[in-house]
Amino acid sequence: MNKDQSLPALLSLAGRRPLLMSMAATVILLLAFPPLGWWPLAWVALIPLIAVIATPRFESAHPWRSIWFSGWVFWGLQVYYVPMPHPALWVAWLLLFSYLSIYPLLFVWISRKMVHGLGVPTLIAAPVVMTAMEWIRAHALSGFGFVMLANSQFEVPLVLQVCDLFGAYGLTFLMTLFAAGLCTSLCGRRFSGLAVSGLVLAAVLGYGVIKLETFEQIAGSPLNVVVVQGNIDTRFPATEAELNEYRQQLMGDYRNLQRTWLKQHKGPAAELFVWPEGKYPIPYFLPGGGKEEAACREYFRDFHATLFQAGRENPLTPDEPPFPLMIVGASTVDPQNDKQYNSALLLGENGKVLSAYHKMELVPFGEFIPFSKWFPILGKITPVGNGIDRGTQPVAFNINDNIAMPFVCFESAITHHVRESIAYLRSLGKDPDLLVNVTDDGWFYGQTALDQHLACNVMRAVENRKPLVVSANTGLSAFIQSSGEIVSLGPRRNSEVLEQELALKSSTPLYATVGDWPVILMTAMCILAILLPRRKTATGKSPQEGEG
């Protein structure tokens, strides 16, 4: 008799065909995420991989190569957009998805060590390891928070509410536990597996109903916000003339969008305008810059004034309402210390800079080149040169009677950065009422990176219980309530000015207090599983546990 005949069919198949099972998980996950976004599939996508974890033996010649290959395919397709702006980024794309493909392999390997080496039930091992892998990925090598399993649910507020307990990691844990329960059921333990999956689903949906009903009852102070979304793809001009033309396009398009909107607008006065990352065309010189600083400040004032003169024959007079506040993405220069930052600036009347936040989490190959200090030639062959400098701390922007916390671009994908920044400002007595993400997604030519980035912003709004405004060049700009509901969404790769009276319903969730300690403990469990010796039976052999 074949030794696999005593195994449930799913485990037997997983042992004989790990490539088939891991590729099945890859295909289902690809369907669950944008561009198709069939989000219910994400709840069952890991079942084939969990079967690979639970099967007691492999009959395949190269099981680990098969599992790695499926992860390689998944991540290569998920980040296919990286090399679009510049040929040199093909190398970055290859390095990025090759690195990311390690995580599915680690998920299966560490989980199998727990199950078959230490006797941990699959129902526990799979969700613990999956959640730990996402936490490590969000921290290692500057962090990469796109395409977390929980992010697949970003368009379903009912499901997202549990994120205010333990962040997006908590939802990833529950989704993996749900899949592990179904896998256990398919492997013979029908009642216990279905019971676990049923309880998980009931808890998620029940909590969602309660929190959404509570949200509707909370009063929030209104803030009328206008987001200016231009449509300018990222380019790297080859000549000085092309560079000047590109700069003129940036300056003209965004100025004209705002001026046209002001001229045609008949509604209530805007309290805040928001421009995307890097689209305010004038560098801000920190104090101490001498003549260049003075010239730029003059330019700031003149350019800013033209934005608010649409349809007017005469300039604004002192007795008329002041210009609205603006949050803009701009370059900041510190000539005294030879530094340059990617910044979000709060502008007052006549373009005066009231506050400045300098981006703290930089994008590898987009804003800095790893190892370029040791290999300077890397800065010469890539479009970003030697890169930019990191900011040092979060900043609170005072918007009338409210406090906004800005962050720039990719920082919205780093869960702990946003949470820790809010905690820092709260410790200063400046708990934010509003989060503002300014980003330039013109690097991606309208591809699925826009959806992935939007998903990150939705998750940050829910897990921190703060409304969030996204101003994104080429899209997708958005107004997101602290419930995760997207109340207004800009177009993909097109220009539009969005206005929204956003209710600032903000609170302090459990995640703000507990933080990442639960998933840190899960990560410690994974490390122990790697270090501890395999459990032995009375015969001195390692156990051959299956579906447990």
pLDDT in tens, 484-505: 999 999 999 999 999 999 888 8
Residue 534 CB: number of other CB atoms within 10 A?
Answer: 12
> For residues 547 and 422, which has the higher predicted lDDT (pLDDT)?
422
Nearest-angstrom CA–CA distance, 102 and 71: 7
pLDDT score of 295 more than 80: no
Structure confidence at residue 544 (pLDDT): 45
Nearest-angstrom CA–CA distance, 230 and 276: 8
Residue with tokens 């088939």: 20
pLDDT score of 548 more than 50: no
Maximum distance among all alpha carbons in the chain? 94
Is the C-alpha dihedral spanning 487, 491, 492, 497 positive or negative?
Answer: negative
Structure confidence at residue 545 (pLDDT): 40
Per-residue DSSP letter, 368:
B
Assess contact for 288 and 333: CB atoms under 8 A.
no
Nearest-angstrom CA–CA distance, 95 and 113: 28
Q: Which of 78-82, 255-259, 405-409 has the lowest mean pLDDT?
A: 255-259
| Tokens linked to 493 | 């790769």
On average, the pLDDT of the chain sits at 87
Closest CA to 45 of 28, 20, 58: 28
Structure confidence at residue 370 (pLDDT): 59
C-alpha distances in angstroms, 378 versus 71, 373, 375, 384, 388? 28, 9, 6, 10, 14
Residue spans of alpha helices (H) in 148-239:
157-160, 163-186, 190-217
| Tokens linked to 308 | 């608010």
Residue with tokens 């929030």: 220
Q: pLDDT band at residue 422, thresholds of 50, 70 and 90?
A: very high
Helix 163-186, helix 517-531: angle, nearest 10:
40
Q: pLDDT band at residue 20, thresholds of 50, 70 and 90?
A: very high
Write out pLDDT tens, residues 215-249: 887 777 889 999 999 999 887 777 888 878 887 88
Q: pLDDT band at residue 107, thresholds of 50, 70 and 90?
A: very high
Q: Once rounded to an integer, what is the mean pLDDT over residues 11-40?
A: 94
Nearest-angstrom CA–CA distance, 147 and 198: 25
Beta-carbon contacts of 255 under 8 Å, excluding residues fewer than 6 positions away, are 303, 306, 307
Consecutive H or E run containing 137: helix 122-139
Nearest-angstrom CA–CA distance, 503 and 398: 17
Q: Once rounded to an integer, what is the mean pLDDT over residues 420-440?
A: 95
Is the C-alpha dihedral spanning 468, 469, 472, 477 positive or negative?
Answer: positive
Assess contact for 463 and 457: CB atoms under 8 A.
no
| Tokens linked to 103 | 């995580």
Q: pLDDT band at residue 313, thresholds of 50, 70 and 90?
A: low
| Tokens linked to 399 | 């918007």
Assess contact for 229 and 475: CB atoms under 8 A.
yes
Structure confidence at residue 26 (pLDDT): 97
Nearest-angstrom CA–CA distance, 173 and 166: 10
Write out pLDDT tens, residues 26-48: 999 999 999 999 999 999 999 99
Closest CA to 326 of 305, 347, 355: 347
pLDDT score of 314 more than 50: yes
For the chain, list the domains and their CATH numbers: 9-216+514-531 (no CATH), 220-506 (3.60.110.10)
C-alpha of 369 from chain center: 21
Q: What pTM was computed for the model?
A: 0.90
Counts of helices then strands in the chain (DSSP H, E): 18, 13
